[in-house]
């Protein structure tokens, strides 16, 4: 067992505690990664605040990058010293979903209560989202990591673990957006900006960003939005349709706010689809008239992690970044130490940050 420093959640809605914990070495099929950076995602915050329940005490964090420092038996294609992105997408490779090319929907469960982490006295410590990356090191399954080339900063690489692949992947994978189509992205935060980037890369004609903040709408234009609409406007969909000249082919809801889901169909053209990306709290409900969807040939599609196949999708996104066609560095709003994580979380909650990154 190695002793590492981690940010531990002992009670929902309370500050994280910086403390020493135990991390066992990698077993068969696992790797140990010494982290250089981990980004703070709103999903981490929702868990920390108790929005989705879960087991405590726990170590959250799931957008990470670092170097492999130990390797368990049976690991293939990875070596000590490799720079890798660490994701929460853990796949068995054998279940029906994995066999169908959807490892992001792997049906083999994982019990984080019996993972590699434990408290200093040997007690239970939940490895949240199969990562537990608010810590100096992680031990994860080999299926969760992807090598990235030298020259890519760990801070930029960490963003590829969730926010970037979720936003870009929702466009290219879940929506299958074609060049010339029109898009509305509701929410211009970390994931929304990447959906905007994905739409730009896919060749969308018009990309309308919708957000409560005028400042965030201006930032959205830097990432590829052609137009911006304030969500506080009366019937914001009417303004978006004017900007596009028609209804949208795809509407991406990248926030967890129920009103955004309720209103999303109003932006659609006939045959259009709503892509549900944001994650409201458990028990939240939206209401729709199904007859309207049937009459207009519209649909609603859930997108988990951008339907991303990480070993297929992360390498081409890295390549786009290295060509300066995908913005990563520009997504980083602030850099913080691990002992500043509560301040970084508070800053993220203000909604002004694109992504705050903990740097080790």
Whether residue 222 is found in the same domain as residue 289: yes
Residue 130 lies in a domain: yes
**In-domain check, residue 309:** no
Q: Specify whether 6 is located in the same domain as 138.
A: yes
67/149 same-domain check: yes
Report the percent of the chain where pLDDT is more than 70.
Answer: 100
Pair (112, 14) in one structural domain:
yes
Examine the domain organization and report whether 31 and 143 are in the same domain. yes
Domain span at 10? 2-160+328-359
- What's the pLDDT at 89? 97
Instruction: Write out the DSSP string of 145-176.
Output: EEE--TTS-HHHHHHTTTHHHHHHHIIIIIS-
Residue 66 has pLDDT above 90, yes or no: yes
Reported confidence tier of residue 221, pLDDT bands at 50, 70, 90: very high
Once rounded to an integer, what is the mean pLDDT over residues 31-57?
A: 96
Q: Decide if 322 is inside a domain.
A: no
Q: Is the pLDDT of residue 158 over 90?
A: yes
Q: Is residue 314 part of a domain?
A: no
Q: Is the pLDDT of residue 31 over 90?
A: yes
Q: For the segment 276-328, what is each residue's pLDDT rounded down to a tens digit?
A: 999 999 999 999 999 999 999 999 999 999 999 999 999 999 999 999 999 99
Please, what's the b/e burial string for 35-72 (b: 16 or more CB within 10 A of its CB; e: otherwise)?
bbbbbbbbbbebbbebbeebebbbbbbbbbbbebebbb
Q: What is the mean pLDDT of the chain?
A: 96
238-277 tens-digit pLDDT: 999 999 999 999 999 999 999 999 999 999 999 999 999 9
Q: Are residues 87 and 212 in the same domain?
A: no
Q: Mean pLDDT throughout 106-122?
A: 96
Number of domains in the chain: 2
Task: Let me know whether 7 and 152 are in one domain.
Answer: yes
Please compute the mean of the pLDDT values over residues 33-43 and round it to a whole number.
Answer: 96
Instruction: Give yes or no: residues 135 and 179 share one domain.
Output: no
- How far apart (Å, rounded) are the C-alpha atoms in residues 260 and 12? 26
- Closest by alpha carbon to 251, among 270, 278, 222, 272? 272
Instruction: Write down the pLDDT at residue 254.
Output: 97
Residue 150 pLDDT class (50, 70, 90 cuts): confident
Residue 6 lies in a domain: yes
Q: For the residues 207-227, what does the mean pLDDT come to? A: 97
Alpha-carbon span 12 to 115, nearest angstrom: 21
* CATH code: domain of residue 188: 3.40.50.720
Q: Return the pLDDT at 151.
A: 85
Residues 203 and 105 in one domain: no
Query: Would residue 318 count as lying in a domain?
Result: no
CATH number at residue 126: 3.90.180.10
The mean per-residue pLDDT over the stretch 327-341 comes to 97
The per-residue pLDDT for 118 is 97
pTM: 0.95
Same domain (yes/no): 187, 94: no
Report whether pLDDT(352) > 90: no
What integer pLDDT is reported at residue 353 of this predicted model? 85
Residue 321 lies in a domain: no
Q: What proportions of the chain, in percent to the nearest 5, are helix, strand and coil?
A: 35, 25, 40
Question: Residue 355 is encoded by which pair of tokens?
Answer: 């992504």
Distance CA 143, CA 28 (A): 12
- 93 and 208 part of one domain: no
pLDDT of 351 reads 84
Residues 140 and 283 both lie in one domain: no
Residue 323 lies in a domain: no
Residue 1 reports pLDDT greater than 90: no
């Amino acid at each position: 067992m190695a002793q590492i420093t981690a940010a531990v959640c002992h009670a929902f809605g309370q500050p994280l505690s910086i403390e020493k914990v135990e991390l066992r070495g990698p077993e068969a099929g696992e790797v140990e990664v010494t982290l250089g950076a981990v980004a703070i995602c709103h999903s981490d915050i929702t868990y920390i605040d108790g929005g989705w329940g879960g087991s405590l005490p726990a170590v959250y964090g799931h957008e990470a990058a670092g170097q492999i420092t130990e390797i368990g038996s049976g690991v293939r294609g990875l070596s000590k010293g490799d720079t890798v992105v660490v994701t929460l997408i853990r796949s068995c490779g054998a279940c029906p979903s994995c066999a169908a090319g959807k490892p992001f929907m792997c049906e083999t469960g994982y019990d984080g209560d019996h993972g590699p982490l434990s408290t200093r006295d040997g007690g239970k410590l939940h490895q949240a989202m199969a990562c537990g990356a608010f810590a100096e090191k992680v031990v994860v399954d080999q299926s969760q990591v992807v090598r990235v080339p030298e020259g890519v900063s760990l801070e930029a690489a960490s963003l590829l673990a969730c926010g970037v692949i979720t936003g870009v992947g929702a466009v290219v994978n879940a929506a299958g957006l074609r060049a010339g189509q029109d898009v509305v992205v509701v929410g211009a935060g970390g994931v929304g900006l990447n959906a905007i980037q994905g739409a730009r890369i896919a060749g969308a004609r018009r990309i309308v960003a919708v957000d409560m903040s005028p400042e965030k709408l201006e930032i959205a234009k830097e990432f590829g939005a052609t137009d911006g609409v304030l969500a506080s406007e009366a019937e914001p969909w009417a303004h978006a349709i004017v900007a596009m000249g028609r209804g949208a082919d795809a509407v991406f809801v990248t926030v967890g706010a129920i009103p955004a889901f309720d209103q999303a169909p109003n932006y659609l053209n006939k045959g259009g689809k709503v892509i549900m990306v944001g994650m409201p709290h458990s028990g939240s409900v939206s209401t729709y008239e199904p007859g309207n969807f049937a009459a207009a040939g519209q649909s609603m599609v859930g997108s988990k992690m951008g339907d991303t196949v990480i070993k297929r999708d992360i390498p081409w996104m890295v390549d786009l970044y290295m060509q300066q066609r995908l913005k990563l560095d520009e997504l980083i709003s602030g850099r913080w130490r691990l002992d500043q994580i509560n301040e970084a979380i508070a800053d993220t909650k203000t909604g002004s940050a694109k992504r705050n990154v903990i740097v080790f």
